[in-house]
Structure 1
């Protein structure tokens, strides 16, 4: 029986582990933290429950597919709730726009605030569906294990059809003339940790997932997905070792024959899958002489994605006016991304996102559980307390009673993410998608240097976002099962 080690119990690692374990492999996961799911982390303070992330769930069928042919059904573990009117967008002039999966509701709002956009909204939906369908067939369903996977004629043809040379912000200007509405749809770039003024228009397809397929949440908290995967994996006979950090891969003749952990233990496996940040994992676990042509300084040249300044705030009384997803936009959205990516500093006038899962599921927590996020550079934040107070003052002006209602709080910064998840410079998605190269030619799912080493997670193909991470994990597992480019020990 082949033995496989997965480094990291994030969603990609769990998906790989379940697929491989169910197909007759013996899988062990080694996870540095105490919980499954990676950034899908539960946080409890007193009687308050928060999902650290992800807050927005799309493509629920992807999560369900992980349990295909395992004898288990995700529906027995949790319930997805579709949010019909999922995001309340509030602009600096006080106007409001609510995103809905119902086109008639969208067109009615557009007719009032952007009359030119109303008649072309169906055209917008048609085009983002086209972008999604091409990506779904050409980019999502396979692991990238060698350069020839990128050069496949089908993939190359699809690449030319998904607007790779056009910027997302320019694409949205074609359909929405109101600058506030452009901000709403430009915000999709942040879902992949990038700037709408630099990332390709291909990512407009995220709009299809939100505006057509729908936004979902999980009753009881999104972290129940990771908890379900953990339970199924163990019932299939897999092993998870928590609170232990892999420190080094032991490599000989381009084969990783063992790994060492911080406890001093050594484990031997036939294949290894790294479910973690590509850059930091490669630097930390593989010595430079075992990866010729990829020294540390070259890895450090990757542009990190957006990070986050996050406040978890428990308000003692339920706030019915705060939507499940609520966004307060800055007046100058372009300047926000200049601050983050060019000046490497916190935005002076930030867009503030709030996830308030109690709006949909009152049973999940006491009062109101506000996950408050400001986009941040992957860099050190010098004065955390002052910036937190700045965010609070802004929200107070918007009518959110922070001062009189705040009962508990916890702050996460890029440094927190760097420590908790070995995130590249504290970024959320590892590598940004601001350049066409990093958007489409992300690090592959198989090591170029180590024959039996694979990668999964948001910093590798097919990219960031929890459904993509799960697909990445399944693709890697299928690649190992099929023996595509993998090292054979028989």
Structure 2
């Protein structure tokens, strides 16, 4: 059986490896020069940047892909644990360092939120429960139709994962200090959503970082994509970069073949789309050929946030920077209100990843600052700032906070939501596909199998189980297991 995979992100590579392990004839086509999707290396004049993701959790998910190919995960992916991993800095100068060491966290909380310090273990237990429920009932399965949501066990699990409570309200139950709540609320941005609208279910992200820990791969997180490519090649996957799939050919209720940018037609028994299906399917199928996903339905979907990114190589190392450093806006609620109106915030929260703090060899000449600010995907403001204007605003805000980055920039690139949309074929430039700002979109993402075509499947951040690199890898594995008949039943 021949499987064609459209898109060589982590989800597509994961599916390719799991299918090839079972003897599948797998052909993967990627329109970009690199494999890995948004896990893209940016190398310039001796500076290395991981375009994304910068924060790595659930290393076992990545290791399992390599294990399928008989590779030694510990040799291929030397994960480094960062115990005190994220500095959260606020406009009044207060800092809170997130850590997987509970004693260190409680020591900080005793100074700013003594009641929360006494309940911190209870909080960790609750977010761990949310994760284990999600892992058992949601993360390791596919959804192919509405009937998949009718399982009694799934319904019971749904009631336990706090679907009707917002992340903000959940965190306020355990923490009184507004800075601590604000720092935790940032986890909603990991799914491109607002903490004031997205369900408390996603507070499980706190478990991943504060219980299980944050990791970094020596040499850069893009080594994960490189290792997946190595695993795929070892298992005989046919990998084609710089080769775009332009069109699907339909025969009855199946995709019979795909047309490549070279003009060649490739027949397929099965097709997997690894990419933002809200952007990909309209390019691959006419509206008449996708009756379950008409243009009107696509336009009704609320996209996740996008990003404005600066990669800045400095001529020095700034001691005040941490590997993961967040400078919060003075009014987080208003920042998200602005984003949801489709406008840029002029008091944005700024995230800086400087991997040279952990791994100096990736940037020997100075710090490699990956600077990310949340940006609207569905741009509605005709007076949006130019890339240069917004870059300068970010540097000015950093300077006011005591970070003179602009004085030390040696090399630099900027990326706007439109750049992200074009490079990664992302719906309106949204990083995570549909947002989780409504209960319907949070729990009923696009299915993993087409309603219209029996042999068409989907993996990646726009479908189940959602955004974030571990989830994307799991989506590829789940689709492969679905095809192979290996998905375990959920009781």
TM-score interval w.r.t. the shorter chain?
Answer: over 0.9
After TM superposition, give the deviation of residue 434 of structure 1 in Å. Answer: 0.5
SS at match of 2:114: coil
Aligned to 2:314: 315
Structure 1 CA distance for aligned equivalents of residues 456 and 276 of structure 2: 14
After TM superposition, give the deviation of residue 482 of structure 1 in Å. Answer: 1.2
Taking the TM superposition and a 5 Å limit, the aligned residue runs for 1:47-446 are 47-341=46-340, 343-366=341-364, 367-380=366-379, 381-446=384-449
Aligned to 1:482: 485
SS at match of 2:418: helix
After TM superposition, give the deviation of residue 483 of structure 1 in Å. Answer: 8.1
After TM superposition, give the deviation of residue 75 of structure 1 in Å. Answer: 1.9
The farther-off stretch of 372-381 and 164-173 is 372-381
After TM superposition, give the deviation of residue 92 of structure 1 in Å. Answer: 0.5
The farther-off stretch of 414-423 and 229-238 is 229-238
SS at match of 1:117: helix
Aligned to 1:471: 474
After TM superposition, give the deviation of residue 456 of structure 1 in Å. Answer: 0.1
SS at match of 1:111: helix
Structure 2 CA distance for aligned equivalents of residues 281 and 483 of structure 1: 27
After TM superposition, give the deviation of residue 191 of structure 1 in Å. Answer: 0.3
Structure 1 CA distance for aligned equivalents of residues 226 and 451 of structure 2: 33
Aligned to 1:28: 27
**TM-score calculated relative to the size of structure 2:** 0.96
Structure 2 CA distance for aligned equivalents of residues 211 and 252 of structure 1: 50
Ranges in structure 2 where 5+ consecutive residues have no aligned partner: none
Structure 2 CA distance for aligned equivalents of residues 245 and 98 of structure 1: 44
- What is the aligned residue count? 482
After TM superposition, give the deviation of residue 208 of structure 1 in Å. Answer: 0.2
Q: Deviations over 1:375-401 (max 9, x none)?
A: 000045441111100100111122222
The answer (yes or no) to whether the contact 1:320–1:359 under 8 Å persists in 2 is no
Structure 1 CA distance for aligned equivalents of residues 129 and 425 of structure 2: 36
What CA RMSD, in Å, does the superposition of the two structures yield over aligned residues?
A: 1.1
Structure 2 CA distance for aligned equivalents of residues 313 and 124 of structure 1: 37
Structure 2 CA distance for aligned equivalents of residues 362 and 200 of structure 1: 38
- Compared CA separation, residues 3 and 483, structure 1 to 2 (3 A): farther
Aligned to 1:452: 455
SS at match of 1:116: helix
Structure 2 CA distance for aligned equivalents of residues 38 and 17 of structure 1: 14
Structure 1 CA distance for aligned equivalents of residues 166 and 413 of structure 2: 36
The farther-off stretch of 198-207 and 276-285 is 276-285
Structure 2 CA distance for aligned equivalents of residues 69 and 171 of structure 1: 39
Aligned to 1:487: none
The farther-off stretch of 114-123 and 203-212 is 114-123
The answer (yes or no) to whether the contact 2:20–2:235 under 8 Å persists in 1 is yes
Structure 1 CA distance for aligned equivalents of residues 403 and 243 of structure 2: 41
Q: Deviations over 1:28-68 (max 9, x none)?
A: 11000011100000001111000000000000000011133
The answer (yes or no) to whether the contact 2:66–2:227 under 8 Å persists in 1 is no
- Compared CA separation, residues 307 and 390, structure 1 to 2 (3 A): same
Structure 1 CA distance for aligned equivalents of residues 44 and 426 of structure 2: 24
The answer (yes or no) to whether the contact 2:2–2:24 under 8 Å persists in 1 is yes
State whether structure 2 residue 10 is matched by structure 1 residue 11.
yes
Structure 1 CA distance for aligned equivalents of residues 180 and 360 of structure 2: 30
Structure 2 CA distance for aligned equivalents of residues 293 and 262 of structure 1: 26
Aligned to 1:488: none
The answer (yes or no) to whether the contact 1:192–1:433 under 8 Å persists in 2 is yes
The answer (yes or no) to whether the contact 1:379–1:415 under 8 Å persists in 2 is no
